[in-house]
Structure 1
């Protein structure tokens, strides 16, 4: 009820502002409203997007499963306040899956807020970010879900992502030559994910990322968009490495996954968790290729109670999900805005620790871009192979609209 009231109040406010301030209706995909203060000391672009997903899954020896749902539905606000050097971004999740994950650590409240961050260009090529937003981890995670080449992200992302967190980021870029660009990001975060209200239960999370652009910048920030929709007329390449150290982490996937709560609620098991990401993006005349590698380890992956006895959950040892993953994805965009794409993902968690077998997934996708990523229809079919388990076939169809 509170969310409905808030949304109604927001839209009434937006209509009032539109009448009171200078505004213009942008073209499709560029926001619902573009607002500018009378003295030009602030701007706000208001956007809305939704994804409608149909899924069918067939598993050897099991009955077919199917579902239809609103995969994502979000309100977005961005602009600047007082000066173009002081920008902001807010994003609210409206769908069930956007808000899921409520627990005692979020005050049992739905997780409405995805992004709430301010960005200050305080000196030349330096920017300071503060708030809740995506950490500079794997490329596929940082790519917006609105700009994906296939229906959704890979298994590598679901197993190894460090997603969003609350903290600060320092960003900088410089040129080695007329074309060669280097970008650096350093982040300090709370280390327990988004919308946490119980404070810092473990240590802090430190992330660094360096990106190399030997052939110059991509058109329209295409290094963080799926597919080559701008049809780069010269080869463009981005190479990157990121390293994440979560000091005294209390979750089993760095800042993601489940809390490692000791028996009888006697505090949390803490251990250092490190994650390495190496990735690349290449685009040229409609052809695109993305590669990602992830590797997670822990100082002591076996969770323990205060008396050093094994920490168990449902009779099983609680462990950090250590291991490695590889994701390779490629596609070609035809001039009629149809694209074919393929993806191979391999996940190898350390079986001796996690007890989980290697898994490989092969995905073939087809996309029709009606108005770029703002209006598109995508479908893909995936074959999942897990050692010692039943194979699985999954088909998905998704419609995406983004104002």
Structure 2
């Protein structure tokens, strides 16, 4: 699929013109932060269009060289479409990524550049009350931090745990169910997908990917789905807790991190376990995650003449813990600790990261400025200091 910024601009202008010309035939529910929303006069379909971008400054300094390296960039730029068709029980979501960081530069096996414009393209059918079938490409039910939108994070970006071990997006089927026993809410999710990641256009080289997730909310639902956005913006009046576990088995994948990373010369099966939790109460929020990934047949694919791995799947364990407090002025302070321990056979360097963040929420997660400072300790290397500040604008 050939798509660029010029094409995105034309699409945006077309949608705006369409929205203006159809106001007489539809009901407009537009609101800042909620996008342009239209429902057909006969209620046969709805459309919500929204756009967002993140403008990021980042700089880092090595303790030895003392040289400051920095840059400005559009970290993310997105177009989002969702709504229902035919019946409110059949909804859809399409999300396109336009920035270079969104598109990526993964290479196909034939060394053509991978087309990563499409992030989400999924239909969700409520087959029965609280039982949903998802069909298409979207995020897998892996670690909580990855499923939380990049718009709704507590820090400038996700943690090192997520960077190394998340499942990301994939094309396939997901079955989701929720039920309640008294106050306790239970959610079960199962999926089967390609295992090759998003927008792969070649045949599946190995097997499929199988994921299962169980979530338990012992104190009932969070306000406004707060278990899947960071910071207690809605200031829970009573304590809320969600704990969950995910299991993923990617059979004979060819990428170094399963759905992500570079293509390797041989396939391996990967087994990944996630355990995570979210807690919120009166402006205080905390989230913790643990990841464990193994390759039962060994992660190393190729080594040099000296025995150093030249191709390896990324395996090991990681822990991420973070907490923050949102003041009534909508300023928030937060801290995060992350440690990543790679499998010894990979000879990848272990890392620890300590981060302190300060954020100002102007209109929730739709208009905010976030900054964070990190100390990054890498095994056998010198420590590094990182500073980032980012503006998020979502219409």
Give TM class, smaller chain: over 0.9
Q: Say if 2:47 is the partner of 1:44.
A: yes
The answer to whether the Cα contact below 8 Å between 1:312 and 1:318 also exists between their aligned partners in 2 is no
Of 317, 321, 324 in structure 2, the residue corresponding to residue 324 of structure 1 is 317
Q: Does 1:289 align with 2:286?
A: yes
Q: Which of 240, 245, 251 is the matching residue for 1:241? A: 245
Moved more, 316-325 or 105-114: 105-114
Task: Decide which of 365, 368, 379 is 1:373's aligned counterpart.
Answer: 365
Aligned counterpart for 1:175 among listed residues 176, 180, 197 = 180
**CA–CA distance in 2 between the matches of 1:165 and 1:150?**
25
The equivalent residue for 1:145 is 150
1:165 to 170, 184, 189: 170
User: What does residue range 215-230 of structure 1 map to in structure 2 within 5 Å?
Assistant: 215-230=219-234
Distance 1:135 1:111 in 2: 17
SS in 2 for 1:18: helix
Q: What is the alpha-carbon distance in structure 2 between the residues aligned to residue 17 and residue 400 of structure 1?
A: 25
Are the structure 2 counterparts of residues 311 and 385 from structure 1 closer, same or farther at C-alpha, using a change threshold of 3 Å?
A: closer
Distance 1:108 1:313, change over 3 A: farther
Separation in 1, partners of 2:204, 2:115: 19
Aligned residue pairs total 388
- Counterpart of 1:210 in structure 2 is 214
Of 104, 114, 118 in structure 2, the residue corresponding to residue 113 of structure 1 is 118
- State the distance in 2 between where 1:182 and 1:365 align: 32
1:252-307 deviations in Å (ceiling 9; x for gaps): 2222212112xxxxxxx222210000000000000001000000001112445xxx
Q: Partner residue of 2:277? A: 280
Gaps of at least 5 residues in structure 1 are: 262-268, 305-309
Q: In structure 2, do the counterparts of structure 1 residues 293 and 368 end up closer, same or farther at CA, with 3 Å as the change threshold?
A: same
Of 375, 393, 401, the residue aligned with 2:385 is 393
CA distance in 1, matches of 2:3, 2:193: 29
Please state how far the C-alpha of 1:139 moved relative to its aligned partner. 0.4
Q: Classify 1:110/1:87 alpha carbon distance in 2 versus 1 (closer, same or farther; 3 Å).
A: same
Distance 2:364 2:151 in 1: 10
User: TM-score w.r.t. structure 1 length?
Assistant: 0.93
Partners of 2:392 and 2:384 lie apart in 1 by 25
> What RMSD, in angstroms, separates the aligned Cα atoms of the two structures?
1.8
Which 10-residue stretch deviates more, 57-66 or 276-285? 57-66
Shift in Å at residue 18 of structure 1?
3.2
Q: How far does residue 40 in structure 1 lie from its aligned partner after superposition?
A: 0.6
Q: 1:182 to 1:393 in 2, by over 3 A?
A: same
Give the distance between the partners of 1:368 and 1:10, measured in 2 at CA.
Answer: 29
Using the size of structure 2 for normalisation, the TM-score is 0.94
List gaps (5 residues or longer) in structure 2. none
User: 1:271 maps to which residue?
Assistant: 268
1:264 aligns to what?
A: none
Q: CA deviation at 1:2?
A: 4.8
Q: 1:334 to 1:17 in 2, by over 3 A?
A: closer
Q: Which stretch shows the higher mean deviation, 232-241 or 269-278?
A: 269-278
Does the CA contact (< 8 Å) of 2:49 and 2:79 recur in 1? yes
Q: Give the Å deviation of 1:313.
A: 11
Of 356, 364, 370, the residue aligned with 2:356 is 364
Match of 1:307 in 2: none
For the residue of structure 2 that corresponds to 1:157, the secondary structure is helix
| Partner SS, residue 97 of structure 1 | helix
Check 1:242–1:302 CA distance in 2 against 1; reply closer, same or farther (3 A cut): closer
- Classify the secondary structure of the residue corresponding to 1:253: coil
* C-alpha distance in 2 between matches for 1:361 and 1:322: 18
